[in-house]
Structures are given as structure tokens and as C-alpha cells.
A = this chain, B = another copy of it.
Amino acid sequence: MARLSLDQLNAADEDAFVAALANVVEHAPWIAQAAFGKWPFAMVSALYDAMSEAIRTLPLEKKLDLIRAHPDLAGKAARAGDLTAHSTAEQAGAGLDRLSDRQFEAFERLNGTYRNQFGFPFIICVRRHTKSSILNEFERRLRHRRADEVETAIAEICRIVALRLDATVEGPDRLKVHGQLSTHVLDTFSGRPAAGVAVSLVELSGDGEEQPLVRAVTNQAGRTDRPLIADRPVPIGRYELRFDVAEYFSRIGAPLADPPFLDVVPVRFAVAEPEGHYHVPLLITPWSYSTYRGS
């Protein structure tokens, strides 16, 4: 989807401005309207600040209206196809459109418990999460007091707004809403990057389920041509990288045991900061390896 330029927005009149940003806040074009008070904007971050300030300074009842305008996570509206385009894409990104019946029921139950307890739906910026971390957040936030939870919901709405704004408007700056996950394989047996190593990335969930995300092969620089995850938040969750090193060392003629001491090397790690850069390299010989959070 082509993005609007900030210049175009700055040339628009109020109606066109509000229309362009209507969907940035779920069912609440009046936030864009409020932000228009600070129009024009030199930077996308200034536009974001105006919109998030409009949200954060709402009186409590208006905040609750805004929160209640959001759909349930993975709820019946989603199954019925009744979400906004933004919400549909966001929920699908976290796999909430591919729930088993058992998982669907778990979400329904938690949605219900949460709504009963607080009187509004559970809001979370799903693009920053995996199914597992959403379930963890449900559990954690159900222990909140209501006043704190209203502010948590508002903060999550601001995160959603930032991501939608980044997807909608292009300007001289870029909101820091994206992270990155990358890898790099160094062959310290030969003293050079390991080329042609098959790498796969899977998402792990608490119940032992595995979700394959990416398969790639390292290039001459020992890197994958593209980062494994980029141009989006890296969802909070647990992952495993798998490097097919026996195939590599066999191909370059290194002497190997039979079966090789190391075959597919698994590196299991968790992402805690969706906007962070996670570089997880592997230094490898047929008999040893190291890995670390690099940069």
C-alpha cells in the first residue's frame, strides 16, 4: 500500500486530513481532528506526538469510549469478518486467525474474564506479540487495578497508532516502531564466512508447538540476503534458529565423525524488546560453537 507523504498531508485541508488518518485510531476519526489543531507537521514524529497527546489527555469517560471501540482479540467479530482492515491484518500477523478450537475458546474465556473484571475489552498491540506472549499479558494484566489497566490500554492504543501511522504516512523521519532479527555464520575452522548454510527460524510456544517462520541460506558473507525479520516489530516470544552445519562442513570437505558431532545446531532465545535489533550469530567448527546477542 503506497504511503501518503507528509507534504501531501500538510497541503490538505482539515476534511482531507481527517479522512486520510481516519483509520489510524480504530473507529475514532475525532482523534485525527483533534491533532489537526497542531497542523502542519514538520516530522512524522510531531504528528504522532499530536495524536498520542490527544489520546492521553482525554477525560476518563472518553478514554473508555475509545477503548470500547476496539474489538475483542481473536473474538467472534474476527471469525465473522467484521473487523476493520487494520485490525484484520494485525490479528492475522500474530496468528490469531489460525487458532485451533481449543485456543479460540481460551481466548474467548480470557476476553470474557477480562471484560467482566474491567468493563472494557483487552487491548494489546498485537504486532509486538506472539500468541504466547499475548496469553502471558492477559494473565499479568488481570492482576492490575482498573485505573492502571485503563492507562495500560491507552498506552497499547498509542503503540497501535504509531504502527498504523508509520504504515500510512511517509516523511523525513521514521517512527522507531520496527525491530530486526538477523544472523551470521562464521566458519572459524576455515577462517571465513560460512556460505550456503541452511538456516531456519521457528517460533516456539509454551505448549511445545512450533511455528516455522523463515527459511534461508547464507550468502558469501555468511549472512542471509535479507534480515530474518525486518520492517516490523519483532514479536515478543521465544524462538529457535536452526543451522545445518554438518551439511556445510561435509560440503567443504572438513573431516567429520560419523555421525557428525554437530549436525543441526539449535539456538533458542527470546525477544523482549520488539523495537530492538537482535543479531544472533553463530561461530562454528565441526566440534564447537559460540553464539551471542550481537548488534
Contact = CB atoms under 8 A, between A and B. Distances in A.
Interface of A: 133, 186, 188-193, 221-222, 236, 238, 257-266, 268-270, 272-273, 283, 285-295
A285 B221 contact: no
A250 B141 CA distance: 22
14 contacts: A133-B259, A188-B292, A188-B293, A190-B287, A191-B257, A191-B292, A193-B295, A261-B269, A261-B272, A263-B268, A265-B268, A288-B290, A288-B293, A289-B292
User: Top 3 closest A-B pairs, CB basis?
Assistant: A191-B287, A288-B292, A188-B288
A197 to B, nearest CB: 14
A160 to B, nearest CB: 22
A221 B258 contact: no
Contacts of A294: 186
B266 A268 contact: yes
Given A238-B259, A238-B263, A266-B266, A283 B272 contact: no
A293 B194 CA distance: 12
Contact of A293 (B133, B191, B263): B191
A292 B191 CA distance: 8
A211 B130 CA distance: 29
Nearest to A254: B189
B285 A189 contact: yes
B291 A283 contact: no
A166 B190 CA distance: 31
A278 to B, nearest CB: 9
Contacts of A293: 188, 191-192, 261, 287-288
A20 B178 CA distance: 52
Given A294-B186, A295-B222, A272 B258 contact: yes
Given A188-B292, A283-B290, 13 more contacts: A191-B287, A191-B292, A192-B293, A192-B295, A221-B295, A236-B259, A238-B263, A257-B270, A257-B272, A257-B273, A263-B270, A289-B290, A290-B290
